Structure 1
Amino acid sequence: MPVLPDTGYQPTAEDRESLDAWFADYDTLSAQRKVDRMADMAVFPLNLVSDDSAGNGRSAQWDRAQFVETMTQVMGGGSSEDITFDSVRTPVFLSAAMAIVFSDSTMTVEGHTQQLRYADILLRRDGGWAFQTMVQGGWGDNL
């Protein structure tokens, strides 16, 4: 992952490695459509920020049940088709316990690719990372 200029909190090698490992685990669960396990990696209520099809900014909070229901629907919970992700992530550590991570990702499903750009706010709790806020365009009609 690229590192931004030398400002603010400077992450340690362990900070970076643990965040990279968290995303590797999350991507694996996403590819396997293990939505319940993905939910285990979040802090609820989960904040969502997006825009809708009318071009308006939207925000909401989801509980675990809403996350599981929506992500299962979006990801095709029963599908056996492989999903792959190729992502470049740029973390900005605000402290040892908070990071905003900007992602440019290519998702491939059934041979079709889609470019994604999004940001997540992650918190470190009890030594592990969890996402607390998702920011991505195009989700607003689901909020």
Structure 2
Amino acid sequence: MTFLPDTGYVPTAEDRASLDAWFTEYDAQSGRRNVERMADMAVFPLNLVSDDPGGNGRSAQWDREQFVATMTQVMSEGSEDIAFESTRTPVFLSPSMAVVFTDSAMTTEGRTQRLRYADILIRRDGKWAFQTMIQGGWGDNL
């Protein structure tokens, strides 16, 4: 992970390690298309921010049922596991809130797609969970 200059809250080594561990687990579950486990790692209602093909910004809130249904549909293509190579830049707002910017290469069945997105994660009872997903191109699903 890449870290910005120290401004505001300065994360501890444990903050960084726990966030890295969360993303390692989430990427593993995504790679196996384990949507139910991915949902276990979220806080609902989940906020989503995206845009549509017309270039209009869109936002929505999904409950767990909507998340599972949509992600199952989106991730049902292909039979191989998905591999991710990601560079993440977390910005810790406090010990329990982080905005994480990600540049990722997602590869499945020999095809690679480059992604750029951001997530807002919160830590509750010592565990991270994502609460907001921000990525272009999902507007038709909102």
Could you tell me which residue of structure 1 aligns to residue 24 of structure 2?
24
Matched, 1:68 2:61: no
State the distance in 2 between where 1:82 and 1:44 align: 26
For structure 1, the residue ranges without an aligned partner over 5 or more in a row are: none
Matched, 1:52 2:52: yes
Could you tell me which residue of structure 2 aligns to residue 88 of structure 1?
87
Could you tell me which residue of structure 2 aligns to residue 110 of structure 1?
109
Query: Cα offset for 1:80?
Result: 2.6
State the distance in 1 between where 2:21 and 2:89 align: 14
- The two structures, once aligned, show a CA RMSD in angstroms of 0.8
Query: Cα offset for 1:82?
Result: 1.9
1:25 maps to amino acid? E
Q: Which runs of structure 1 show a deviation greater than 4 angstroms over 4 or more consecutive aligned residues?
A: none
1:59 maps to amino acid? S
Query: Cα offset for 1:81?
Result: 1.2
Q: Deviations over 1:8-66 (max 9, x none)?
A: 00000000000000000000000000000000000000000000011000000000000
Percent identity of equivalent pairs: 77
TM-score normalised over the length of structure 1: 0.98
State the distance in 1 between where 2:63 and 2:2 align: 32
State the distance in 1 between where 2:89 and 2:23 align: 12
Aligned residues: 142
For structure 2, the residue ranges without an aligned partner over 5 or more in a row are: none
**2:115 match: secondary structure:** strand
Could you tell me which residue of structure 1 aligns to residue 135 of structure 2?
136
Query: Cα offset for 1:6?
Result: 1.4
State the distance in 2 between where 1:82 and 1:110 align: 8
